[in-house]
Amino acid sequence: MLYKKGYSVLFLIPLILVLGCSKKEVVDPRDQYIGTYATIVTYSQKVTATGSTTNGSLATSYLFAKGNSIDEILIKAANSTSTDIPTTIKLSGSTFTLAPYTAQGTVSGAPITFNVTGSGSFSGKSVNMTSTSTGGGIVLTANYSGSRP
């Protein structure tokens, strides 16, 4: 009986060492959010000089891909060209902020530079985001609501 106890202790010591020294796999938190989201965008465009407002909505898709750092995700319209620069979001848990950027647009044929900011959150396979673009006397607020398979 004493021999069996010694044998089991000798067996457990290497097992404990192997399990205790095994490498722990690093999980990338972005993996749960990567993919293509079918999105409904509702927007409101206000011309500050006249106070006139235009509202609308559209259906589109956005591709969410890993950025350069562990807290960075890149967003591009799914139908964009390879030369389009993706928008960067900074991830903090399930919430994120849009890295502020400028975008070019035209209103009544005139070129306008918009300053864009925004924030949002993920919940399961859904994303919700709000962005505000300001420039040339126009304020464009957009709400994005999407999901992926």
The model's pLDDT over 103-127, given as tens digits with 9 standing for 90+, comes to 988 878 889 999 999 999 999 999 9
Tell me whether residue 15 is in a domain. Answer: no
Cα–Cα distances in angstroms (integers) from residue 20 to residues 8, 9, 13, 25, 26, in the given order: 18, 16, 11, 13, 16
Q: Say which CATH number the domain at 40 has.
A: 2.40.160
Structural domain range at position 100 = 27-147
Residue 109 counted as domain residue = yes
The DSSP 8-state label assigned to residue 125 in this structure reads T
Q: Is 109 within 8 Å of 86 (Cβ atoms)? A: no
- Structure tokens belonging to residue 141: 């607020």
Q: Is 6 within the bounds of a domain?
A: no
Q: How far apart (Å, rounded) are the C-alpha atoms in residues 63 and 74?
A: 8
Tokens in use for 105?
């647009």
Dihedral, CA atoms, 77, 144, 134, 90, nearest 10 degrees?
-70
Domain count within the chain: 1
The token pair at 60 is 């589109």
Which amino acid appears at position 61 of this protein? S
Pair 76, 63: CB distance under 8 Å: yes
pLDDT tens per residue, range 3-53: 555 555 555 555 555 555 556 777 899 999 999 999 999 999 999 889 999
Q: Would you say residue 33 lies in a domain? A: yes
